[in-house]
Amino acid sequence: MASREKTQVADIDRTIYDIRNEDKDAYRFTSGLTEEIVRKLSEEKNDPEWMRDFRLKSLEIYNSLPVPDWGPDISGLNMDNIATYVRPKNNRMQGNWEDVPEDIKNTFEHLGIPEAERKYLAGVGAQYDSELVYHNIRKEVAEQGVVYLDFESSLTSEYADMVKDHFMHLVPPTDHKFAALHGAVWSGGSFVYIPKNVDVTIPLQSYFRLNAKGAGQFEHTLIIVDEGASLHFIEGCSAPRYNVANLHAGCVELFVRKNAKLRYSTIENWSKNMYNLNTKRAIVEEGGVMEWVSGSFGSHVSYLYPMTILNGKESRMEFTGITFAGKGQNLDTGAKVVHNAPNTSSYINTKSISKDGGVGTFRSSLVINKNAPHSKASVSCESLMLDDRSRSDTIPAMDIRTKDADVGHEAQIGRISDEAVFYLMSRGISEEEARAMIVSGFADNVSKELPLEYAVEMNNLIRLEMKGSIG
Partner 1 sequence: MMEKENTIRVNRLPAITWHTLKINDATLSVPDRFTAPTCTMEGNLASSPVEFKEIRSGSGEAFDSLLSGTAVQTYDVVSTDNAEVPVRFHFAPVSDAAEAAVLRLVAKKNENLTVITDITGEEHASLYLQILLDIDQGATVKLVQVQAMPSSSILVNAVGGTVGENGNVELVQLLLGGEKTYASSRISLSGNESKLNASLAYLGEKDSLTDLNYHAVHEGKRTESSFETYGVLRDNSRKTYRGTIDFLRGSSGSVGTEYEDVLLLGEDVRNKSIPLILCAEEDVQGAHGASIGQLDDDMLFYLGSRGIDPKTAEKLMAKAKLDTVAHRIGDEKAEEMAETTIEGQF
Q: Which residues bind partner 1 (CB under 8 A)?
A: 69-70, 363, 365, 370, 383, 385-388, 390-415
- E strands, 81-129, where? 86-88, 123-128
List the beta bridge partners of residue 94. 134
CB of 335 to partner 1, least distance (A): 13
The residue (of 164 and 374) whose beta carbon lies closer to partner 1 is 374
The residue (of 6 and 403) whose beta carbon lies closer to partner 1 is 403
Q: Let me know the angle formed at the C-alpha of 183 by 173 and 128, rounded to the nearest 5 degrees.
A: 140
CB of 400 to partner 1, least distance (A): 4
The residue (of 211 and 349) whose beta carbon lies closer to partner 1 is 349
* d(C-alpha 28, C-alpha 15), whole Å: 26
Is the C-alpha dihedral spanning 435, 437, 441, 444 positive or negative? positive
CB of 295 to partner 1, least distance (A): 22
DSSP string covering 127-180, please?
EETTEEEEEEE-HHHHTTT-EEEEHHHHTTSTTHHHHHHHTTTSS-TTS-HHHH
Buried b (16+ CB within 10 A) or exposed e, 261-283: bbbbbbbbbbbbbbbbbbbbbbb
CB of 370 to partner 1, least distance (A): 7
Listed residue (157, 148, 161, 146) closest to 196, CA to CA? 146
The residue (of 403 and 427) whose beta carbon lies closer to partner 1 is 403
* d(C-alpha 451, C-alpha 471), whole Å: 32
The residue (of 145 and 408) whose beta carbon lies closer to partner 1 is 408
The residue (of 173 and 236) whose beta carbon lies closer to partner 1 is 173
CB of 422 to partner 1, least distance (A): 16
CB of 141 to partner 1, least distance (A): 39
* d(C-alpha 310, C-alpha 414), whole Å: 33
CB of 116 to partner 1, least distance (A): 36
| Torsion angle, alpha carbons of 417, 420, 421, 427, to 10 | 180
The residue (of 266 and 383) whose beta carbon lies closer to partner 1 is 383
Burial class (CB within 10 angstroms; exposed 0-12, middle 13-18, buried 19+) of 439: buried
CB of 411 to partner 1, least distance (A): 5
The residue (of 116 and 325) whose beta carbon lies closer to partner 1 is 325
The residue (of 32 and 71) whose beta carbon lies closer to partner 1 is 71
CB of 412 to partner 1, least distance (A): 5
CB of 460 to partner 1, least distance (A): 25
Q: Let me know the angle formed at the C-alpha of 296 by 174 and 85, rounded to the nearest 5 degrees.
A: 50
Q: What is the SS3 string spanning 264-316?
A: EEEEEECCCCEEEECEEEEEECCCCEEEEEEEECCCCEEEECCEEEECCCCCE
CB of 182 to partner 1, least distance (A): 18
* d(C-alpha 21, C-alpha 300), whole Å: 21
* d(C-alpha 204, C-alpha 149), whole Å: 11
The residue (of 80 and 388) whose beta carbon lies closer to partner 1 is 388
The residue (of 142 and 359) whose beta carbon lies closer to partner 1 is 359
CB 430 within 8 A of CB 421: no
Q: What are phi and psi of 315, to 5 degrees?
A: -80, 160
- E strands, 305-358, where? 307-310, 316-325, 330-339, 345-354
CB of 281 to partner 1, least distance (A): 14
Q: What are phi and psi of 40, to 5 degrees?
A: -65, -40
The residue (of 231 and 385) whose beta carbon lies closer to partner 1 is 385
DSSP string covering 190-228, please?
EEEEE-TT-B--S-EEEEEE--STTBEE--EEEEEE-TT
